[in-house]
């Protein structure tokens, strides 16, 4: 009798246990109706122009949610202001991961800011995905398997400018203005680095060709004194490695003092709306950059289907966007890219699978990227975009020239 009761009790316990065993356990940040992701963004401070990225991401996700979300789940983006301050980034990243329990961080902005949380995110095994900075360190899956970039990397971009200078400028004398941090260093290292069999992008003459190298801090009010210093060096080429506020100042000051070098400006500051227009179109003619997204002010794209869709999106979901601000276009394209990753995840939204899918993107067409540029990644290639095209300011927009250049062919 006792044995039978024990058997009955054991059977009842098994039946009671079955629902618990069968119950699905969602990963951090995921419910049956929501995917919660986090982000740090400079909505204040000297880099606040980049806050448009976060606003564009949020606007894109609102559109996705209005369309029913991803497999029935709505995206909940928690985007926090770090003011472009690495210590603040650390504080907010910990809050997002440990208190808010987000599934991953999407497109946190800034080289120094992402560097400050690089090791932490990988120790916690939380994806740090499509970081909004082109530092080459984000493509190191062997040592940092939980971090991935999105845009072309700075070193390769620097190499492209250097090669173009050598090919087109007679007896170049180069002056550099750069932000005094990892971003500025990465761009300048790319200028010199060994690429495709060359000893440095500027060859063995780099030390002779670079006649001035000035830096600025992100807390500086202006770069006027640096521009005067660069002009006085006798340089006929200006490599402008800045963020939007300082890029506009540099262009305007160079025009005011009559310095007219061949001018290269890095992609992260190549915004018609936030840089070129404030600096003055007359002062900006002929400035060269490397592009991977379409310039939304260029009439050549106005009849393209992806431009029409982008335009309709801005009118409905981002009506306050500055016309011609490339950051809006970039934010839109990056948000599309992370949505693609989440779609590929299906119902397996574990952090491991999110990284697995991010590392398995194959010829993904992203709206508002230049023709011929597609996302491609693999477990050993964490550089989703590796091609650009040179472009120069003509009139009131960027005008592409030359062929698509792949920096990692």
Q: Which of 146-160, 162-176, 181-195, 305-319 has the lowest mean pLDDT?
A: 181-195
Mean predicted confidence (pLDDT) in 330-334: 97
pLDDT per residue as tens digits for the range 289-325? 999 999 999 999 999 999 999 999 999 999 988 877 8
CB atoms within 10 A of CB 214: 17
* pLDDT tops 80 at residue 199: no
Give the rounded percent of residues in the chain with a pLDDT score beyond 90: 81
Q: Which pLDDT band holds residue 18 (cuts at 50, 70, 90)?
A: very low
Q: Which of 154-158, 197-201, 350-354 has the lowest mean pLDDT?
A: 197-201
* pLDDT tops 70 at residue 200: no
CB atoms within 10 A of CB 112: 17
Which pLDDT score, from 0 to 100, does residue 202 have?
A: 61
Give the domains, in start order, of the chain with CATH numbers. 34-152+302-386 (3.40.50.2300), 154-291 (3.40.50.2300)
Spatial strand order of the sheet with 147-148 comes to 74-81, 34-41, 105-106, 128-129, 147-148
Better pLDDT: 409 or 123:
123
Mean predicted confidence (pLDDT) in 8-20: 40
The two beta strands, 262-265 and 237-241, are parallel
Q: Which pLDDT band holds residue 25 (cuts at 50, 70, 90)?
A: confident
pLDDT per residue as tens digits for the range 237-262? 999 999 999 999 999 999 999 999 99
- Measured between alpha carbons, how far is 346 from 55 in angstroms, rounded to an integer? 26
What CA–CA distances, in Å, run from 409 to 153, 196, 385, 387? 14, 9, 12, 9
Phi, psi of 131 (to 5 degrees): -55, 140
Is 0.85 surpassed by the pTM of this model?
Answer: yes
Mean predicted confidence (pLDDT) in 135-145: 95
Q: HEC string of the chain? A: CHHHHHHHHHHHHHHHHHHHHHCCCCCCCECCCEEEEEEEECCCCCCHHHHHHHHHHHHHHHHHHHCCCECCEEEEEEEEECCCCHHHHHHHHHHHHHHCCCCCEECCECHHHHHHHHHHHHHHCCCEECCECCCHHHCCCCCCCCEECCCCCHHHHHHHHHHHHHHHCCCCCEEEEEECCHHHHHHHHHHHCCECCECCCCHHHHHHHEEEEEEECCCCCCCHHHHHHHHHCCCCEEEEECCHHHHHHHHHHHHHCCCCCEEEECHHHCCHHHHHHHHCHHHHCCCEEEECECCCCCHHHCCCHHHHHHHHHHHHHCCCCCCCCHHHHHHHHHHHHHHHHHHHHCCCCCHHHHHHHHCCCCCECCCCECCCCCECCECCECCCCCEEEEEEEECCEEEECCCCEECCC
């Amino acid at each position: 009798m006792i044995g039978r009761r024990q058997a009955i009790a054991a059977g009842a316990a098994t039946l009671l246990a079955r629902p618990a065993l069968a119950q699905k356990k969602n990963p951090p940040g995921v419910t049956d109706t929501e995917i919660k992701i986090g982000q740090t963004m400079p909505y204040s401070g000297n880099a606040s122009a980049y806050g448009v990225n976060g606003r564009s991401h949020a606007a894109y996700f609102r559109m996705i949610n209005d369309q029913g979300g991803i497999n029935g789940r709505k995206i909940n983006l928690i985007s926090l202001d770090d003011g472009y301050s690495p210590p603040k980034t650390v504080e907010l990243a910990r809050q997002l991961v440990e208190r808010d329990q987000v599934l991953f961080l999407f497109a946190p902005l800034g080289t120094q800011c992402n560097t400050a949380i690089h090791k932490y995110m990988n120790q916690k095994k939380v994806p740090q995905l499509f970081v909004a900075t082109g530092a080459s360190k984000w493509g190191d899956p062997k040592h940092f398997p939980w971090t991935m970039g999105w845009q072309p990397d700075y070193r390769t971009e620097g190499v492209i400018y250097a090669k173009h200078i050598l090919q087109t400028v007679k007896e170049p004398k180069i002056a550099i203005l750069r932000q005094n941090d990892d971003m500025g260093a990465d761009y300048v290292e790319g200028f010199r680095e060994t690429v495709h069999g060359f000893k440095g992008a500027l060859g063995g003459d780099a030390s002779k060709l670079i006649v001035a190298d000035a830096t600025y801090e992100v807390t500086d009010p202006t770069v006027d004194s640096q521009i005067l210093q660069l002009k006085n060096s006798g340089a006929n080429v200006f490599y402008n490695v800045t963020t939007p506020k300082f890029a506009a100042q540099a262009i305007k000051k160079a025009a005011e003092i009559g310095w007219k070098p061949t001018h290269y400006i890095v992609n992260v500051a190549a915004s018609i709306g936030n840089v070129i227009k404030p600096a003055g179109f007359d002062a900006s003619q002929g400035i060269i950059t490397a592009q991977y997204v379409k310039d939304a002010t260029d009439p050549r794209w106005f009849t393209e289907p992806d431009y029409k869709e982008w335009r309709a999106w801005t009118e409905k979901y981002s009506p306050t966007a500055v016309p011609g601000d490339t950051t809006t276009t970039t934010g839109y394209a990056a948000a599309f890219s992370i949505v693609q990753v989440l779609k590929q995840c299906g119902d397996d939204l574990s952090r491991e699978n999110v990284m697995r899918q991010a590392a398995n993107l194959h010829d993904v067409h992203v709206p508002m990227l230049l023709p011929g540029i597609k996302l491609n990644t693999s477990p050993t290639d964490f550089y989703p975009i590796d091609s650009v095209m040179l472009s120069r300011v003509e009139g009131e927009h960027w005008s592409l020239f030359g062929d698509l250049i792949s920096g990692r062919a």
